[in-house]
Structure 1
Amino acid sequence: MHYKRMPIEAESPEEFGYDRISNNLSESSIKDKTLQQLNVTLDIAGLVLFYGDHKGLPELREQIAAQGQGLTADHVLVTAGAAGALFMIATALLTKEDHLVVIRPNYATNIETPKTIGAQISFIDLHFEDGFALDTQRIAAAITPATKLISVTVPHNPTGTMITQQQMQEIIAIAEKAGCYVLFDETYRDLSFNTPLPLGASLSPLAISVSSMSKAYGVPGIRTGWLITQNNSLLQLLLAAKEQIGICGSVIDENIASSILKKRTELMQENHLRIQHKLAIVREWIQQEPMISWIPPQGGVVCFPRIDLPDEKTAAFYERLLHQHKTYLAPGHWFDMPDQYFRLGYDWPTEQELRNGLAAISAAAREV
């Protein structure tokens, strides 16, 4: 494999420097948390720093499995973040001879890792004019005899839109008919505005669910994610991949993750109240800003608005926004989209930073 840095990483705020940004609207998670803010107390002085369970801390796997009907800890593999799970799935399942179907726009890893492998990709592009709605029949039409994987994010990143439970069942039926796997990247599932969809992995042995502690819990630094599958042969294949990459996870990180998940209900209630308040700020701004249009999100902490600027002015817009107004956005090219689109993360910044950043977007759009 020949690796190439993804724009979403090479241009990330941590690479540019957080100290150079006043209003960071590019982040795709809730605000990063401290253990004190999470009210989590850890006694790790007596923790033996051994090689942990290769599948992950049993208690943590039980907590994850409890979120899906009919799932057990034996269906869960703890990984180095959702990114680690996505990488292992792509490299374990795909070769140059294989084909996959990917919903686009999408989180970059779901596209770039298969590209690096050399797999053949059919993109199902979502369109602003259609409300970024997914037509499952387009997935069915894209299936070939070589199709090995269908890749879907739900709630969707970067638009925040949702498929329905019926659509989820239709996608699984397509995969079962084709004899391929379907990956449900469910990183934002806990932040669904309405009742979350079932865990995809709970609905079929051909479905794989992926999630992490990063986006909904605000602890990306512990690098703890997971994948879930009822297919034991597949799980053993992915376990082999994990063991060859890193043997096991950090026993400290997994204990922290388990302690946080014990407070899951309380934390999610707090998150949802705060998110809805900040989303209302974004909604009010867009209603008053004629240069910006959007599809309102249905989950997560991001949306994907469109700015009314010609192609030749977008680079100058982002340049002025950053260097004159110290405001950072995630431009469309991070997601294989035109730069008239941008991912706006509205929960990571403080309320004042959010308001300042939105005002900066309006100002910069009129200055170019």
Structure 2
Amino acid sequence: MNIKTFGVERWMNAYEHGAFYNLAETDAKAFTLDELLSLGKKFEVLDELLRVKISYNPTTGSQSLREVISSFYADTGPENILITTGAIEADFLVTNSLVESGDTVIVQFPAYQALYSTAEARGARIKYWNMNIDRGYEPDIEELKSLIDDKTKMIVLNIPHNPTGAVISEEQLRTILSWAEERDFWVLCDEVYHDFALEPGVVPPYGRSLSKKAISVGSMSKAYGLSGLRLGWIAAPDELINRCWCWKDYTSISNSPINDFLATFALKNIDKVMERNLGIARQNLETLLKWFQEHESFFDYVTPKAGVLTFPRVKNIPMSTEELCKKLFEKEGLLMVPGECFEMSGYLRIGFGNDSKMFKTGLSIFSSFLSSIQ
């Protein structure tokens, strides 16, 4: 099985750790351990943490963590949850468990490469369901319907969508799931930004809660600001969980018991976690939209409905977006992700979930750079 080089991850590895200003971050602002534990009775929680044995964790994840996660979904118990090393392993396990050579896999596009390159490496035919900026990144499910064929094994949705911030409505999601039930294919719902609704009611219910043909994938990284835990999960029917578990025995085996403990604690305090993260994101989005308006001669953009990402189209800049991002990094230590990492030259992925002071400074530096090329 030959697999493509992972464009965006190689880009981040090359530039992220040397950057002074990060406008490429896809997560909520990272918690410190002290800040996280302070969401509860810190010293009591710390005392529990210090008693955790640093040994192998159950390969499926602890019972307590799977119980908390299963409570998010309708008709779902701990036996329907498999804990993984981030959402990326979850997506990898699902794809390897389901997709065979000759299958059709339809992916909402542009997309995080893990959502389609594994299927492509397994010999699947990949079809793109394109989110178009000229249509406001609004999902057109009639276009999606036209892509479904007799060999369709899986549709891959990202709800909310990375990198555009678009969101499929509940009515649209229910329609897609009804097609899956009628034609017997799966719908992989990567829902790592699910709790990042910038306005109430814009994000549909979890796919797993709506249909047995939906597979929900979650993570501690994006919405929760805890990417360092490297912990995600799959919510799916028992039979598929067992198939994914067989693959997990050959990948990560198990997750750290320390990370399992901290994830359980964070998810039991999810309201406090999201109050903090949404506050930062909303403040930064207000700053970003004002900045876009001030620089409208350089960008076409769509206001994201959820998540912490926006995917503007660049105009009137005499260089490729990859060259632009390299110059900003080399001259200013400013990190952004070019559209080339998504097979979409001419676009930028900008993340607005990070520290607000740093975010404003980064935009100010970008402004000065744009002024210098006019």
TM-score by length of 1: 0.94
Match of 1:23 in 2: 21
Deviation at 1:367, TM superposition (A): 3.6
Deviation per CA, 1:208-233: give whole Å up to 9, x if none.
0001001112111111100101x221
Q: What corresponds to 1:221 in structure 2?
A: 228
Task: Tell me how far 1:134 sits from its aligned partner.
Answer: 0.9
1:111 maps to what in 2? 116
Whole-angstrom CA distance in 2 between matches of 1:366 and 1:178: 54
Give the structure 2 partner of residue 95 of structure 1.
Answer: 100
Could you tell me which amino acid in structure 1 is paired with residue 3 of structure 2? Y
Q: Is the contact between residue 280 and residue 356 of structure 2 (CA under 8 Å) also seen in structure 1?
A: no
Query: Is this contact kept in 2: 1:21–1:322, CA < 8 A?
Result: yes
Q: Please list every run of 5 or more consecutive structure 2 residues that lacks an aligned counterpart in the other structure.
A: none
Rounded Cα–Cα distance in structure 1 between residues aligned with 2:321 and 2:251: 40
Match of 1:129? 134
* Aligned position for 1:176: 181
CA distance in 2, matches of 1:311, 1:119: 38
How much has 1:281 moved relative to structure 2?
0.3
Deviation sequence 1:298-337 (CA, Å, 0-9, x none) = 1111111122136744344223211112211111122221
CA displacement, residues 199-250 of structure 1 (integer Å, 9 cap, x when unaligned) = 1011111100001001112111111100101x22111111111123233222
- Alpha-carbon separation, structure 1, partners of 2:16 and 2:253: 32
* Rounded Cα–Cα distance in structure 2 between residues aligned with 1:312 and 1:269: 40
Please, which of 150, 157, 175 is the counterpart of residue 152 of structure 1?
A: 157
Rounded to whole Å, the distance in 2 between the matches of 1:305 and 1:91 is 33
Equivalent in the alignment of 2:9: 9
- 1:245 paired with 2:251, answer yes
- Of the structure 1 ranges 236-245 and 151-160, higher mean CA displacement relative to structure 2 is found in 236-245
**Alignment match, 1:269:** 275
Q: Partner of 1:365: helix, strand, or coil? A: helix
Offset from partner CA, 1:270-306 (integer Å, 9 cap, x none): 2112211111000111111121221101111111112
Match of residue 285, structure 2, among 279, 282, 292: 279
Q: Tell me, what secondary structure is at the counterpart of 2:344?
A: coil
Change (3 A) 1:46 1:175: same
Distance in 2 separating the partners of 1:337 and 1:305? 11
Measure the CA separation in 2 of the matches of 1:17 and 1:67.
33
User: Which residue identity is paired with 2:229?
Assistant: I
SS at structure 2 position matched to 1:337: coil
For 2:209 and 2:58, the matched residues in 1 are separated by 23
* Matches for 1:62-101 after TM superposition, within 5 Å: 62-101=67-106
Kindly state the Cα deviation for residue 96 of structure 1 after the two structures are TM-superposed: 1.6
Counterpart residue identity of residue 363, structure 2: L
Paired residues of 2:113 and 2:342 also in contact (CA < 8 A)? yes
Look up the equivalent residue of 2:250 and give its one-letter code.
Q
Cα distance change on mapping 1:314 and 1:366 into 2, 3 Å: farther
Cα distance in 1 between the residues matched to 2:145 and 2:295: 39
C-alpha distance in structure 1 between counterparts of 2:60 and 2:265, whole Å: 18
**Matched pairs, number:** 363
Instruction: Please give the root-mean-square deviation of Cα atoms over the aligned residues, in Å.
Output: 1.7
TM (norm. structure 2) is 0.92
Equivalence for 1:314: 321
Q: Does 1:354 align with 2:353?
A: no
Change (3 A) 1:11 1:315: closer
Structure 1: gaps spanning 5 or more residues: none
Relative to 1, partners in 2 of residues 1:142 and 1:58: Cα closer, same or farther, differing over 3 Å?
same
Q: Secondary structure at the match of 1:44?
A: helix
1:145 Cα deviation from its structure 2 partner: 1.5
- Out of 320-329 and 156-165, give the one that drifted further: 320-329
Deviations 1:171-216 (A, max 9, x none): 1012112210000100000111223421101111110000100111
The 1:45/1:319 distance shift into structure 2, 3 A limit, reads closer
Say whether residues 1:120 and 2:125 are aligned partners.
yes
Kept after mapping to 2: 8 A contact 1:317/1:364: no
CA distance in 2, matches of 1:66, 1:126: 32
Q: Aligned partners of 2:238, 2:75: CA distance in 1, in Å?
A: 14
Question: Contact 1:143–1:178 (CA<8 Å) still a contact in 2?
Answer: no
Alignment of 1:42-81 (within 5 A): 42=46, 43-81=48-86
What's the secondary structure of 1:37's corresponding residue?
helix
Displacement of 1:65 in angstroms is: 1.3
1:67-88 Cα distance to aligned partner (Å, 9 max, x none)? 1222222211111100000011
Aligned match of 2:303 in 286, 296, 301?
296
- Contact 2:86 / 2:220 at 8 angstroms: preserved in 1? yes
Contact 2:322 2:340 in 1 (8 A): no
Residues 280 and 239 of structure 1: CA distance in aligned 2, closer, same or farther (over 3 Å): same
In the alignment, residue 10 of structure 1 is paired with which amino acid? R
C-alpha contact 1:103 1:152 (8 A) present in aligned 2: yes
**Deviation of 1:359 (Å):** 2.4
